[in-house]
A and B are shown apart, each in its own frame.
Chain A
């Protein structure tokens, strides 16, 4: 059997298999075909709005291609922007907190509430560390 004959036999089997598609599949193919026909890009054909979303699993195909691209871009970029802004806010807040703590200790030293020699005391370092937590 040569290549052409073999391919013909395969083709016959595939045709038979395609003809036996279950109703569930053939019905959805028919719905998809009708939805596609309603959107044919001819000037003569009047466009009809077909509820493509009514077909199961058709979410990705609804809307025009341009809208889909913009929507996907927005869905990707918005979470990234939210995370970036959030990180910046956390960074600024953390810097402010640290500066406040340092200023508080400096103020205490300058007003003689805490002696300058406290910096040489190991216990004072531990106290500052614990008080920050």
Chain B
């Protein structure tokens, strides 16, 4: 049985990556935060007494299911929203951006780099993230779980509910798609 500290450490270690996973899938930061919060609550409430070693796979499965549920709900909601969309004002998210967030993000290990390097690096990161968002959902899930969450093929297959062969295929296709897309943008890693 996992202790409170083990669960806390696990959530702290995974929360940022989970947020990014959700953002890549739903492309909306606020929705992604809600999804991560829901996933954390589900893991804690339903599986908080499981061994800590099972947390990574359980959490990934919960997160993927929560994202899928989000899309299902959104599909129903969009049917109504489109009916009234003509009467709604346009969202302008650029207005509430805090310039201090940018300063905050530049703190820490990145200080030593020059401004030009910093901008170039940020552009590359953005390009990579954009291409990851464009991947088909299953390929993206498999790629991120295998190579970012450090899950092995069997764990990824269990979390995705598919065969190990499918995981390997998804990962391979995702890698080739990403490489080709980045090469087309003139980015070499």
Spell out A's residues near B (CB within 8 Å).
Answer: 1, 3, 6-11, 13-26, 28-30, 32-33, 35-37, 39-45, 52, 55-58, 60-61, 64-65
Contacts and interface: CB of A to CB of B under 8 A. Distances in A.
B118 to A, nearest CB: 11
Contact of A25 (B8, B19, B171): B19
A3 B124 contact: no
A32 B37 contact: yes
Given A39-B44, A42-B1, A60-B38, A22 B105 contact: yes
Given A6-B175, A13-B128, A20-B105, A37 B11 contact: yes
A24 B15 CA distance: 14
Contact of A57 (B30, B43, B178): B30
A33 B12 contact: yes
A58 B34 contact: yes
B189 A6 contact: yes
Contacts of B42: 65
A55 B37 contact: yes
Contacts of A35: 37, 40-41
Main secondary structure of the interface of B (DSSP, over half): helix
A22 B46 CA distance: 30
Contacts of A40: 4, 7, 44-45, 48-49
A64 B29 CA distance: 25
Contact of B43 (A10, A30, A36): A36
B17 A18 contact: yes
A25 B29 contact: yes
Contacts of B146: 7
B148 interface: yes
Contact of A58 (B7, B37, B125): B37
Contacts of A10: 128, 132, 147-148, 178, 189
A57 B35 CA distance: 10
B90 interface: no
Contact of B45 (A30, A32, A39, A60): A39
Contacts of A45: 4, 48
Nearest to A32: B37
14 contacts: A6-B178, A6-B189, A9-B189, A10-B178, A11-B147, A13-B189, A20-B110, A25-B29, A26-B16, A30-B15, A37-B44, A39-B41, A40-B4, A57-B30
